[in-house]
Amino acid sequence: IWTALITYDGLDHGMMDASVVIDDFWVSVEEQASIEITNAAPRMISLVFTPDTARRGDTVDVSVTALDGHGIDSVGIDLLSAGGALSVLSESDGIWRGQFVVPDGISPGERSIPVRITDGDGETVMAVHTYPNGFPVDAPMLTIENEAPSVSSVSVLRSGEAAETIHVPYSGDALTHTLEATIDDPDGISSAQAKIGRLAPIGSSDVWLLMVDDGTNGDRVAGDGVYTLQFDVRTSLPEGNISIQIRATDTYLSTTPTVEQGHTLELEKLGSGGGGGSWFSDNSTTLVFVALGLLLIVGITAIAISVRKSDTEW
């Protein structure tokens, strides 16, 4: 078997005829054969991200240089597979420039960003290598930072209804309340916890208590991103504000920053009637009218007695 390396530097492609000549000591034979020449894909010469570190949702500037014998027709950043968009770049002085938004679907870490390059004859390549010296090397990567989980809202429920304050009973049994926290993270939450101080069971005021999003223990809807913790409010708690902490950890073990964990709740002491934090203030208007009515009755009675005494003297 005779082998030869054939190098073709032309721009034409498709089916081409080639002659194969075979010689021995006495005779020479020439055979015709067909060979298919494919259109070589464009080559990316350089790729630059500015900045080279970003978070999901950030806008990144990009510049690309590419080379092809048929010329470059278009260049774009293709993030469709990560839930993003195809961002088309514009050419100026041989450099293709543009911007793209880092999609939520891309994972943290050093990530290869696919560059879609099409030459003037329709050949397209998803370039992940550059050829600075004629040989392929891995293209520069974009570093995706891992955002920590964020707590967007905190609320309290009592008997399944939203409550402005936490009721502290005057006496008797403890009152059950539910703490809800909406927690967001593009990578998913692995755990959520709350440190609720004096609201926690005795001996657990400094313990991080597990919050759930599985439809149990007061959680209204499983898997909706709202994490729940039930707690019982004892009669011994004083009225006023109380500081709590809520934190979450995502699947990449990033935790809510300490400065973002703090929240404040208000405790309201119920009166002996049990209907509200201050029975007198809640019924002040009624009490005023009752007092005025009593004064009016006393006044009328006094006048009637005076008139009767006057009639008796006559």
Per-residue model confidence (pLDDT) at position 205: 92
Residue 268 belongs to a domain: yes
Q: Quick check: pTM over 0.85?
A: no
Tell me which of 86, 117, 144 is where a domain ends. 144
SS3 category, 289: helix
Per-residue model confidence (pLDDT) at position 311: 57
Residue 8 belongs to a domain: no
Tell me which of 144, 170, 198 is where a domain ends. 144
User: Do 56 and 175 fall into the same domain?
Assistant: no
Residue 165 has phi, psi (to 5 degrees) of -130, 165
Closest by CA to 75, choosing from 47, 102, 50, is 47
User: Do 47 and 115 fall into the same domain?
Assistant: yes
User: Do 56 and 154 fall into the same domain?
Assistant: no
Tokens 């240089």 correspond to 65
User: Do 201 and 154 fall into the same domain?
Assistant: yes
C-alpha triplet 238, 239, 240: angle, nearest 5°? 120
User: Do 156 and 120 fall into the same domain?
Assistant: no
User: Do 83 and 116 fall into the same domain?
Assistant: yes
How many domains does the chain divide into?
2
User: Do 125 and 235 fall into the same domain?
Assistant: no
Query: How many helices and strands, by DSSP H and E, does the chain display?
Result: 2, 24
pLDDT tens-digit series, residues 58-106: 999 999 999 888 889 999 999 999 889 999 999 999 999 999 999 988 9
Question: What tokens appear for 98 in the block?
Answer: 């543009």
Tokens 């759930």 correspond to 212
What CATH number is given to the structural domain containing 217?
2.60.40.10
Per-residue model confidence (pLDDT) at position 177: 96
Residue 3 to residues 19, 20, 24, 153: CA-CA distances in angstroms?
A: 14, 11, 16, 72
pLDDT tens-digit series, residues 246-277: 999 999 999 999 999 999 999 999 886 555 44
Residue 132 belongs to a domain: yes
Burial class (CB in 10 A: 0-12, 13-18, 19+), 51: exposed
Residue 243 belongs to a domain: yes
User: Do 170 and 271 fall into the same domain?
Assistant: yes
pLDDT tens-digit series, residues 135-191: 899 999 999 999 899 998 999 999 989 999 999 998 888 999 999 999 999 889 999
Residue 231 belongs to a domain: yes
Question: What tokens appear for 292 in the block?
Answer: 């005025």
Residue 17 and residue 286: Cα distance in Å, rounded?
107
Tell me which amino acid residue 23 is.
D
CA torsion, points 47, 140, 44, 112, in degrees to nearest 10?
A: -110
Phi-psi region of 120 (alpha: psi -120 to 50; beta: other; left: phi over 0): alpha
Residue 31 belongs to a domain: no
**Is it true that the peptide bond before 51 is cis, omega within 30 degrees of 0?**
yes
Residue 104 belongs to a domain: yes
Residue 288 belongs to a domain: no
SS3 category, 142: strand
Q: What domain range includes position 88?
A: 43-144
Residue 188 and residue 185: Cα distance in Å, rounded?
5
Query: What confidence category does residue 310 fall into, taking pLDDT thresholds of 50, 70 and 90?
Result: low
CA torsion, points 229, 234, 239, 243, in degrees to nearest 10?
A: -30
Per-residue model confidence (pLDDT) at position 157: 94
In contact, 151 and 179? CB cutoff 8 Å: no
User: Do 156 and 230 fall into the same domain?
Assistant: yes
User: Do 140 and 251 fall into the same domain?
Assistant: no
Per-residue model confidence (pLDDT) at position 277: 46
Beta-carbon-side half-sphere exposure of residue 271 (alpha carbons within 13 Å): 10
User: Do 174 and 263 fall into the same domain?
Assistant: yes
What CATH number is given to the structural domain containing 84?
2.60.40
Beta-carbon-side half-sphere exposure of residue 192 (alpha carbons within 13 Å): 25
User: Do 155 and 246 fall into the same domain?
Assistant: yes
Question: What tokens appear for 40 in the block?
Answer: 């070589």
Residue 314 and residue 311: Cα distance in Å, rounded?
5
Q: Which helix (H) or strand (E) holds 21?
A: strand 14-23
Is a pLDDT exceeding 50 seen at residue 34? yes
